[in-house]
Amino acid sequence: MLQTILVATDGSDHARKAVRLASDLCAKYEARLVLVHVLMNHASSATLTKLASQRALGKRLWDRLNSYESEIYEAMAGADAAAGFVPIPAPREVLEGVAKVVLERAEAQAAKAGVARIDTRVAGGDPADAILDAAKTEKADMIVLGSRGLGDLKGLFLGSVSHKVAAQSEATCVTVK
Ligand code: ATP
Ligand code: MG
């Protein structure tokens, strides 16, 4: 019945639980697992730093991750621009490096749980739209997400990505608590 399960991961602890459930189901039903990560344009350098490490990311990208914000703030100050706490997206190569780290970890977790067929996908754009698109392209029978992610509004039951995917998905969608 279940042939393809898609699980979306932002590298959070919640997403790790989602990968665990999706992997167990894939192992049981001998289904293919598709792991999707959407580049995190809105994540701060502090959040990205927590997800990766110098060892996982490599020294050059790690140094870029730790310097891009201050370089831009300094350039803005030099240009006499109004430098405040404006969120600045990380360079694309850093986001791609983080994507690789997050997906490799999830892949190792799934392989350990006994999943034989694993595909990984990196996407860009709005996370919920990209997850819904990937589910269609991959003909997923089920989408699994964490109920929350890396966002820090502690009181929420459901993050905006899980909310939008659950509302718009044509396939069965499971949000893991
Ligand atoms: P919000 O982002 O709305 O502030 P949040 O971060 O707590 O809140 P969501 O972003 O909705 O919650 O995350 C819920 C789940 O959605 C995650 O556990 C993960 O499964 C998936 N998800 C979120 N962002 C991404 C992403 N960039 N790539 C892949 N999956 C994601
Ligand atoms: Mg989020």
**Span 31-76, pLDDT tens digits:** 999 999 999 998 999 999 999 999 999 999 999 999 998 888 787 7
CB-based burial label for 65 (10 Å; 0-12, 13-18, 19+): buried
Using pLDDT thresholds of 50, 70 and 90, give the confidence band for residue 85.
Answer: low
Q: Which atom of ligand 1 is nearest to the CA of 164?
A: 11
Using pLDDT thresholds of 50, 70 and 90, give the confidence band for residue 156.
Answer: confident
| H or E segment and range at residue 7 | strand 4-8
Residues with CB under 5 A from ligand 2 (ion): 149, 151, 159
Rounded distance, CA 160 to CA 156, Å? Answer: 9
Rounded distance, CA 69 to CA 131, Å? Answer: 28
Look at the pTM and tell me if it is higher than 0.85.
yes
